[in-house]
Amino acid sequence: MPSFWLALILIRTFSLDLGIFPVSGYGTGFVGHVRNLTLPALTIGLFLTSMLVRSLRSSLIDVFSEEYVEAARARGLSESRVVLRHSLRNALIATLTVLAVNLGFLIGGAVVIEKVFDIPGLGQLLVDSIFTRDFPVLQGLTLVFGLLVIAINLLSDLAYAVIDPRVRLA
């Protein structure tokens, strides 16, 4: 489901029908910010959660059948220690790759979500600069978003060395 459609469904349900959250804006004060940003954060989070959970589950199923996991169980380690120390650490590598690839889509989705929820930010500035044909601002924001995606991918590659010290970066 596209993130803008999910945003519209959440606005309809939680803002218009139930009246729990405001429809748009940024709010004033800390509580106002949290209240106004709950639906946008939920929209962006739900967009990515299903892919990450599916990827992590698939990786964990593959890792559970490995010999080192069975050896850890045979040594008498508790199941939580086997999962957290041995299995999850190796399963996170594939999930981290999925996260890094999809964060670029998440940034693009955040641009649309800012416009849907009328939140003043870089995404709304990007959309407004498209409509007003302000090309220097458009180029600058495109460069910033591109550099952000590159930095996220670099950090995900560096995180492999933290997760698995045997990984050597070229």
Spatial separation of the C-alpha atoms in residues 129 and 135, rounded to whole Å: 7
Residue 168 resides in a domain:
no
Spatial separation of the C-alpha atoms in residues 53 and 116, rounded to whole Å: 26
Number of domains the chain contains: 1
Domain that holds residue 47: 3-163
Closest CA relative to residue 131, chosen from 144, 119, 115? 115
Instruction: Give 75-108 pLDDT, tens digit per residue.
Output: 888 888 888 887 888 888 888 888 888 888 888 8
Report the CATH number that the domain containing residue 98 is assigned in CATH. Answer: 1.10.3720.10
Two tokens at 38? Answer: 């709950």
Spatial separation of the C-alpha atoms in residues 5 and 107, rounded to whole Å: 16
pTM: 0.71
Residue 55 resides in a domain:
yes
Q: Is 87 exposed, middle or buried (0-12, 13-18, 19+ CB in 10 A)?
A: buried
Two tokens at 98? Answer: 């999925």
Instruction: Give 54-69 pLDDT, tens digit per residue.
Output: 999 998 888 888 888 8
